[in-house]
Structure 1
Amino acid sequence: MRKFYEMIVNHRKTVIVVFLVSIVICALCSTMVNVDYDMNDYLPDGTASTVALDTMNKEYDMSIPNARVMVSDISISDALKMKQKLSDIEGVEDVTWLDDVVDTDIPLETEDKDTIEDYYKDGNALFTVTINENSRIETVNAIRALIGDENCMAGTAVNTAVATQATNKEVKKIIFIVIPICLAVLFITSNSWIEPILLLGTIGVAILINKGSNLMFGTISFVTNAAGGVLQLAVSMDYSIFLLHRFEEMRKEGQESKEAMINALCKSTSSILSSGLTTVIGFAALILMRFKIGPDMGIAMAKAILISLITVFVLFPVLLLYFYPLIDKTRHKSLVPDFEKFGRVVIKLMIPAVLVFVILILPTNKGQQMNSFSYGSSKIFSTDTQIGRDTNKIEQTFGKSNNLVLMVPRGDLQKETELSDELHQIPEVSSILSYVDNAGAEVPMDYVDSDILNKLISKNYSRMVLTVDSDYEGEETFKLVEKIRSLGKKYYGDEYLLAGESASTYDLMDTITKDNQRVNAIAIGAVFLVLLITMKSISIPVILVLAIETAIWINLSIPYFAGNFLFYIAYLIISTVQLGATVDYAILLTSRYMEIRETLPKKETIIETMRTTTVSILTSASILTIAGVLLWKISTHGVLSQLGHLLARGTVLSTIIVLFVIPGMLYICDTLIRKTTVGAKFYNEKEKIIKSKVKDIREMS
């Protein structure tokens, strides 16, 4: 490695040119990366709902109804005009209303009251709209312009359109705020006014290169797009901080700048690579998920960390060598205290902290497994947002409702009638739009209007559009999906198909819950293996992984004990991200402990370790926490907001455990660590006294 670093240091201009060219190319490429906000697009190929959607798109010219539009204070005649206006909007494939199920020309009092109130109630008209997925944003905006803010719209198409527009604005806002805050943190924890600019600039280059290189994927998920840059900044900032501190240590020893940089790189390579590789592994574990948002984020973020490592090892040393004279000129008095006193506080608190830690392991592990989860997109907007308020108002007026489409092989109208009769007996099924329900099995297809017929009958399938009074997801909804599928199987074996938000969410739940244990086990095992190799110890990986995993369990058990729900995607992602991101702090502290332990007794080693590592740990943890808080507070997308909340809280918990529990575990297990670590040379006061006495005797003789 030394020869490689010498080459970097001796070819500084080449390095600068290469990175400048990369920045320009990647800046252009980043504008061409597409972002997908529809979670259903990330279901594994071959799941029942995915096959159903693909088949329906081939067989029919329209999708599943995906929006509900409520217009208040409107008469029947005006509602019919509104229906036509909605139908005329480009991107609207179909609008279903009362006139599709009853004859609105005759007095409504003669019709079934429950049927009427599914569409028209207390002067409110509820239209079921099918929006083309390729023009969701434009179509949703046009509908909003037509009905005005005083009326309501909700549904998966609306959720996706609003999320797309809001998240784009919010990501820019987060970046705009996080940069000055990170600079402020770095100004406080550094000793020069130039260092923070170099640190942030280096990671900024890495983020830009990563964003541009995402073009190789064509399209990335909204989670990767929104959280990727913030996570990369927060997670990889500590690599450059570790290198900077090593460089300053070498220079304080009197080494010339180039030699100091080469030595700093050689000495910090092991700890930085260990930190980087564990983070890469944490993200890479997501690649093994069948739910495709996992691989999407895993590949992009593993690539992001690798790019950050390359930038830190190649670009940052060159920048430091160019700017160190200016760094020296702009040095200021340290704004943070000497943490020796903090080390003495840790000595007093670490054993009680370890005891509390041990007590929390089992209940938090159990608690985080018992959370209530949301799997789909139905709860991504709170009632603080317009779409959340609209959804709540529609549900208060007309109740909870969504649509499922059951497709069965065409031809046997008698069998379809029997199936429809059984479906009508399910309490949650409020209405069915199908050939046998609306035209009747006895009516020849030649007598039915072709536009209506094409909505229900295709070349190979007959389509039944079910309106069900239920949430888009939840235990009762999932039971309903199972019940409908069992009826489909009863009449048509494996030839029936069920599509819809609830069916997709059911499959999503079934898929990602199976992913969890496998992904976590592989992430933990891989991190353990990296630590085993880099630390050359059996005991240290156990201590570090247990410490960070317990921080994760505490973080994820809090919603259970507080009675709150979790988005399963956020739960799944944070499990690996928190491990990969915060185990760095544990590695830094432990590596320095092992280094100092060679020359000092273990109590003094703890104090000196805390004195030399606390600033680096707090700097990195502060930035990661701030990034999480901003994502939590600014994002209106529930998944992203909760991911930020979990990230911020998880970082704080991991930092507390690293600063108070791990020192205690190292202290208690000191002898075990020495015996289970290859090449460990711990300071031994008794041996030193004996050697000193032997030396004195020899000198006397």
Structure 2
Amino acid sequence: MLDVMARWVVKKRVLIVILSLLFLIPAGYGMNHTRINYDILAYLPERLPSVQGQNILNQAFGYGGTGILMLKNKSNVEAEALKERLEQIDGVEAVTWTSDLADVTVPREFLPTELIDQFYADDSTLMQIQFQEEAASLKTDQAIREIKSVLGPGTYFAGTPPMLAELRAQLESEMPFYSLAAVLFTLVLLGLTLPSFLLPVLIILSISVAIVFNLGLSFYLGGSMSYITAAVAGALQLGVTMDFSIFLVHRYAEERRTKDKESAMADAIRHTAQAILTSAATAIAGFLAMTAMALGIGGDLGMTMARGVFISVLMILTLLPSLILIFEPWIERFQHRTFVPSFEALARRIVRHHKPIFGLFLLLFIPAWIGYTSVDVVYDIDRLMPQNLPAIQNLDAIRRVFPSTESAFLIMDDTLSAAERTHIVKQIESLDGVKRVLGYDTLIDPAVPEAFVPENIKAMFAQDRYNQSMIQLMYGAYDERTTRMIEAVETIIRPYAGHAYLTGQAVLQNDLVTTVEDDSRRVDMISIAAIFLIILIAFRSLALPIILVGSIELAILFNLGLDFYLGRSMPFIGTFAIGAIQLGSTINYAILLVTRFKEELARQETKDPKAAMARAVSASGGAILSSALALFAAVIGIWMATDISLLGDLTFMIARGALISLTVIVFLLPAVLLTLSGFIARTTNGWPKHHPKAQAPMS
């Protein structure tokens, strides 16, 4: 099968290039028209009561995203005029201010205390802007542009909608630099490690076609992806699959020494396809593990990357060989010597001291685990955004005047009586962390007939079958006291499940924390189990999956825990993404070393494991180094180019993880394999037998 495919690729190389170029047209269209979702909370699972409540709030009350606007040194008349102007903007559902609940001509000192505390502080007043659609929609984005155009001095506009609109603008301006940095850094790396300056161009061209195909498919398969996926998928796909192309290039050079170019390429494809497919399977398994997450962003990133690896493999086995054959005369013209360090001296030292190194390997799990379990994880989305965004700076200014701007929404349907609703509200009002509850049942006496209730009160708090109340919080969304308060409210309304819902930004963010914590454990278990099974089948061994997965897990624990020792925090996305990405993309380093070790054992007459390991490290060290640096080079540019801390921290951890995995595989894994060589031989089908007493010179 592989032989037939290889001969077909060689024969149809011009057709393959033409078809690839033609398919770029619809793929490029799809990539440019894929909708980017900037709201992470939109990926929370629909089964959560908070998400169901938010949907009711959106549908019944027309509430999408919510923004806050502080006016400084404005009279009530000026504030009311601005409010009316904002309400005329397309995309704005309502602007809530004191005039909705009391006559604007009434002096502040005569207003009820709860209204004064809600809307006034010193010389400032606060408005709440409800949008018709979700915070990250294009309609909301356009409304925000219009709002900003009518705001003058002394106004401070903040909240999730303006923050996401500004994030969109910043990311769109930065993304071209992500691609440019990835290409430039990778070109430099490959230019040093490959024997021709043209080969890196052909490799990047082939994988770039695969990236466009992959990102373009998102449009035809659903039409949207998260901004995190949009920002990192291309660079990550380049870094993860780069070593597949290096496998092919090296094998072709080897075959070309004794064969014509067509025969050499056919044999190179046939011989490397199995190794590439095995390596791709481990990467795909790691990415697919993220699709088991309840948080939809994991499935978005995981499926996009798994699909990208598969498409890259197709391009590396078809388009890249075609380009190499077509441009071979120019490849030879631009040849140069490579700059790959020798690993012979290092290999001898590792083999000579393998027992102490094995002890070090075991001991390193202790600080790695301590760091991993102790690192501070940041879930506060505001902290993970660029701090130079106007919405973030305005929020800081608002919080200095109104320390608590957080609110939650309690939604109850008409199956609850007025007495039941009042009882629930009274219980909530007594909780620590609740400043006040504003709603139909707190503003309108139950004895007042509905016909006498002002229409503006009805519109704000009673629609269709639902009543909603705004719970003003004393503390921030990520304060432990707010978490306890949310849990207490959920306990109060639990007997009314399906009829009473607690939602709002603070509640959704609290659910984000619990969802990610559960997802992280699930992703880790699935990715480890899947890759364990792949190695088990590939090597027909019980010991090797344990050793190889254990080695990469040490690297992962160190990567995740290193921020604890550096006094840094880790973004929440790292808790589930790094483990799957690092395991899936760097386990290949370990597989490459073990495969070469097995070959060297089988090749030697003495079957001495020490000599075999020394040769294995010397032979595979350069390839492992190139693979790790390829992943590092592809993503480190995003960290350098972005001001978005969530993206910067994520890509820095991926790049750092590649180097940590490189260190573990080259420096520690050989010692582990040597120390446990007897165990490996006994539990591995077809493992070469060796003679422990045989010695080979190590110097």
Q: Considering the TM-score relative to the shorter chain, is it more than 0.5?
A: yes
Distance 2:621 2:303 in 1: 31
Q: 1:665 aligns with which of 657, 661, 672?
A: 672
Counterpart of 1:81?
81
Distance 2:69 2:355 in 1: 61
3-state SS, counterpart of residue 31 of structure 1 = helix
Counterpart of 2:442?
437
Q: 1:235 aligns with which of 235, 240, 264?
A: 240
Counterpart of 2:213?
209
Please, what is the CA RMSD of the aligned residues? Answer: 2.6
Give the alignment's TM-score, normalised by structure 2. 0.91
Contact 2:100 2:457 in 1 (8 A): no
Q: 1:273 aligns with which of 258, 273, 277?
A: 277
Contact 1:271 1:591 in 2 (8 A): no
Distance 2:617 2:358 in 1: 17
Counterpart of 1:21?
22
Q: Does 1:627 align with 2:620?
A: no
Distance change (3 Å), C-alpha of 1:661 and 1:196: same
3-state SS, counterpart of residue 147 of structure 2 = helix
Counterpart of 2:250?
245
| One-letter identity of the residue aligned with 2:95 | V
Counterpart of 2:53?
52
Contact 1:344 1:607 in 2 (8 A): yes
| One-letter identity of the residue aligned with 1:668 | T
Measure how far apart 1:536 and its partner are: 2.7
Taking the TM superposition and a 5 Å limit, the aligned residue runs for 1:60-459 are 60-63=61-64, 66-101=66-101, 103-111=103-111, 115-132=115-132, 133=134, 134=137, 135-147=139-151, 151-215=155-219, 216-252=221-257, 254-347=258-351, 351-375=355-379, 377-410=381-414, 412-459=417-464
3-state SS, counterpart of residue 310 of structure 1 = helix
Contact 2:6 2:267 in 1 (8 A): no
Measure how far apart 1:110 and its partner are: 4.7
Distance 1:400 1:597 in 2: 68
Q: Which moved more, 1:454-463 or 1:198-207?
A: 454-463
Deviations 1:59-111 (A, max 9, x none): 22334x62122233434433333333332332221222244455553443455
Contact 2:590 2:665 in 1 (8 A): yes
Counterpart of 2:618?
611
Distance 1:575 1:341 in 2: 32
Distance 1:37 1:403 in 2: 22
| One-letter identity of the residue aligned with 2:480 | E
| One-letter identity of the residue aligned with 1:4 | M
Distance change (3 Å), C-alpha of 1:227 and 1:505: same
Measure how far apart 1:341 and its partner are: 3.6
| One-letter identity of the residue aligned with 1:500 | G
Taking the TM superposition and a 5 Å limit, the aligned residue runs for 1:494-643 are 494-600=498-604, 601-643=608-650
Distance 1:33 1:360 in 2: 44
Measure how far apart 1:546 and its partner are: 0.4
Counterpart of 2:653?
646
Measure how far apart 1:7 and its partner are: 2.3
| One-letter identity of the residue aligned with 1:680 | W
| One-letter identity of the residue aligned with 2:445 | G
Q: Does 1:12 align with 2:13?
A: yes
Distance 2:163 2:637 in 1: 22
| One-letter identity of the residue aligned with 1:631 | I
| One-letter identity of the residue aligned with 2:318 | V
Alignment size in residue pairs:
686
Measure how far apart 1:436 and its partner are: 2.7
3-state SS, counterpart of residue 146 of structure 2 = helix
| One-letter identity of the residue aligned with 1:678 | N
3-state SS, counterpart of residue 255 of structure 1 = coil
Contact 2:350 2:667 in 1 (8 A): yes
Contact 2:553 2:583 in 1 (8 A): yes
Contact 1:271 1:587 in 2 (8 A): no
Distance change (3 Å), C-alpha of 1:487 and 1:542: closer
Distance 1:684 1:269 in 2: 33
Q: Percent identity?
A: 27
Taking the TM superposition and a 5 Å limit, the aligned residue runs for 1:30-41 are 30-41=31-42
| One-letter identity of the residue aligned with 1:658 | I
Q: Which moved more, 1:182-191 or 1:434-443?
A: 434-443
Contact 1:159 1:377 in 2 (8 A): no
Measure how far apart 1:150 and its partner are: 7.0
Contact 1:343 1:607 in 2 (8 A): yes
What stretches of structure 1 of length at least 5 have no aligned partner?
690-701
| One-letter identity of the residue aligned with 1:89 | I
Measure how far apart 1:268 and its partner are: 2.1
Counterpart of 1:693?
none
Distance 1:312 1:27 in 2: 19
Distance change (3 Å), C-alpha of 1:194 and 1:167: same
Distance 1:286 1:580 in 2: 11
| One-letter identity of the residue aligned with 1:621 | A
Distance change (3 Å), C-alpha of 1:667 and 1:493: closer
Distance 1:418 1:526 in 2: 51
Contact 1:87 1:94 in 2 (8 A): yes
3-state SS, counterpart of residue 249 of structure 1 = helix
Distance 2:587 2:152 in 1: 50
Distance 2:350 2:169 in 1: 47
